[in-house]
Amino acid sequence: MAAIGENLKINSERLWDSLMEMAKIGPGVAGGNNRQTVTDEDSEGRHLFQDWCKAAGCTMGLDQMGNMFAHRDGTDPDALPIYVGSHLDTQPTGGKYDGVLGVLSGLELLRTMNDLDIKTKHPIVVTNWTNEEGTRYAPAMLSSGVFAGIHTQDWAYDRVDAEGKAFGDELQRIGWRGDEEVGARKMHAFFELHIEQGPILEAEGKQIGVVTHGQGLSWTQVTITGKDAHTGSTPMPMRKNAGLAMARVLNKVEEIALSHAPHAVGAAGHIDVYPNSRNVIPGKVVFTIDFRSPDLAVITDMEACLRVEAQAICDAMGMEIEFEKVGGFDPVAFDETCVQAVRSAAERLGYSHMDLISGAGHDACWINKVAPTAMIMCPCVDGLSHNETEEISQEWAAAGTDVLLHAVLETAIITT
């Protein structure tokens, strides 16, 4: 096996140009992106990615959840491929790098290997997982979840957005519903490069996060029913203000998370108020509580506390409350061999690095159930993400992609 020299690096300018080119598709209003899943903008980004992959000599695969696979042959057709990748869909006020870096770093790997005529025993496949964000269609990581056997395809197809449009219909409408059976593909390993979306690497002055674990996630959708009434003529004691009940519940969410400091977190990012009129007391609110922790017992305890406390608040206020679990996954331990390939790649390249637990969820968290998986993280400015001003440096992007290249080549086995 040819040794992987520490001077083997990707083309940083080309990677950065591709990131900036993709960022032009589905622009936001403040410098980021709004390229939500199975929208026309998502389709446009998919076409650009596909065109680039074909120009790099890949053959393209597409499964029934719209997951895209760009295949580069290995020298041993019987060897299972090494997969890399992430997601091209964004939040409504997303950044230019969340997910996109993981997909386009995979493409840059193939471009670099083509430049240097590097051959590997195992084929290499670059993946774009559909609907990682879970913002238009809950839950997050929907399609990697179907691939890993967590969700059925029918259940996924029936997810509806705020306008009542079904996921499967929208995937069909944009023309990216493939024929491949979801999950039929077998992997030798999966590596995902992703921005940290938190402050640790930047604060510690590290270029690379060697992700050993991912924290678990729980999404509980809460519906509180009070009574619509006039904000002016309804005496205070007569009101059944669902918005007020929600405010008291959200205050409890903060207390519950803080009671499990320092690692637990909790918030509600999704809130719908009905009828959402300036002079009507809200008769109904629907909101989703997002609890996370590296410890499953803590997540379970926070979920239980939420139900008890929220029920007590609504009982005292004479309102109805319903709970529905709409997403979640247990904390994840990534594959030690793959994690070591990442760590030794960072060491070989001389990049500062540290072990890290991922605060955000990623497709790798589900793929870890069906293949040896590891993640690489790069810092992001002020740890900010899911914000249009999300920013990384070209150097950080290149260092992360260099580590991805070396970890993949070590695993895919260079041949002459």
| Nearest distance from C-beta of residue 351 to Mn ion, angstroms | 22
Q: Which is nearer to Mn ion, 86 or 241 (CB)?
A: 86
CA distance 43 to 51: 12
| Nearest distance from C-beta of residue 292 to ligand HGY, angstroms | 8
For the four alpha carbons of 169, 135, 146 and 43, in that order, the dihedral sign comes to positive
**Which uninterrupted H or E stretch holds 265?**
strand 265-274
| Nearest distance from C-beta of residue 233 to Mn ion, angstroms | 44
Q: Which is nearer to Mn ion, 99 or 123 (CB)?
A: 99
Query: Quick one: which segment of 107-115, 129-137, 161-169, 183-191 binds ligand HGY (CB under 6 A)?
Result: 129-137
By CB under 6 A, tell whether 89 contacts ligand HGY: no
Query: Which of 41, 63, 108, 132 touches ligand HGY (CB under 6 A)?
Result: 132
Residues 321-360 that bind ligand HGY (CB under 6 A): 360
Q: Where are the alpha helices (DSSP H) in 318-414?
A: 336-349, 363-367, 394-412
Q: Which is nearer to ligand HGY, 53 or 217 (CB)?
A: 217
| Nearest distance from C-beta of residue 140 to ligand HGY, angstroms | 4
Question: Which residues are near Mn ion by CB under 5 A?
Answer: 98-99
Name the amino acid, one letter, at 375: M
Q: Which is nearer to ligand HGY, 135 or 411 (CB)?
A: 135
**Which uninterrupted H or E stretch holds 13?**
helix 12-23
For the four alpha carbons of 303, 306, 309 and 310, in that order, the dihedral sign comes to negative
Q: What share of the chain is helix, strand, coil (3-state, %, to 5)?
A: 35, 25, 40
| Nearest distance from C-beta of residue 22 to ligand HGY, angstroms | 18
Listed residue (270, 290, 274, 271) closest to 282, CA to CA? 274
**Which uninterrupted H or E stretch holds 311?**
helix 296-317
Per-position b or e across 327-339, b if 16+ CB within 10 A of its CB: bbbebbebbeebb
| Nearest distance from C-beta of residue 74 to Mn ion, angstroms | 28
The token pair that represents 332 in the structure block: 């994840």
Q: Which is nearer to ligand HGY, 74 or 102 (CB)?
A: 102
Torsion of CA 37, 178, 84, 89, to 10 degrees: -10
Q: For tokens 């609504």, name the residue.
A: 314
361 binds, among ligand HGY, Mn ion, none (CB under 5 to 8 A by kind): ligand HGY
Q: Which is nearer to ligand HGY, 28 or 283 (CB)?
A: 28
99 binds, among Mn ion, ligand HGY, none (CB under 5 to 8 A by kind): Mn ion
| Nearest distance from C-beta of residue 252 to Mn ion, angstroms | 26
Residues 353-392 that bind ligand HGY (CB under 6 A): 360-361
What is residue 66's three-state secondary structure?
coil
Query: Quick one: which segment of 37-45, 127-135, 162-170, 184-192 binds ligand HGY (CB under 6 A)?
Result: 127-135
139 binds, among Mn ion, ligand HGY, none (CB under 5 to 8 A by kind): none
Listed residue (85, 114, 87) closest to 14, CA to CA? 114
Q: Which is nearer to Mn ion, 98 or 402 (CB)?
A: 98
Query: Quick one: which segment of 12-20, 40-48, 126-134, 315-323 binds ligand HGY (CB under 6 A)?
Result: 126-134
Name the amino acid, one letter, at 300: T
Q: Which is nearer to Mn ion, 134 or 168 (CB)?
A: 134
Residue 128: beta bridge partners? 68, 86
Strands 265-274 and 229-230: unpaired
**DSSP per-residue letters across 362-389:** -HHHHHTTTS-EEEEEE--GGG--SSTT
CA distance 335 to 83: 14
Q: Which is nearer to ligand HGY, 52 or 287 (CB)?
A: 287
Burial of 320 (0-12, 13-18, 19+ CB in 10 A): middle
| Nearest distance from C-beta of residue 331 to ligand HGY, angstroms | 13
| Nearest distance from C-beta of residue 79 to ligand HGY, angstroms | 31
By CB under 6 A, tell whether 134 contacts ligand HGY: yes
Q: Which is nearer to ligand HGY, 74 or 134 (CB)?
A: 134
134 binds, among Mn ion, ligand HGY, none (CB under 5 to 8 A by kind): ligand HGY
Taking every pair of C-alpha atoms in the chain, what is the biggest distance, in angstroms? 83
By CB under 6 A, tell whether 133 contacts ligand HGY: yes
Listed residue (96, 140, 142, 125) closest to 186, CA to CA? 125
CA distance 12 to 28: 25
| Nearest distance from C-beta of residue 94 to Mn ion, angstroms | 7
Residues that bind ligand HGY (CB under 6 A): 132-134, 140, 360-361
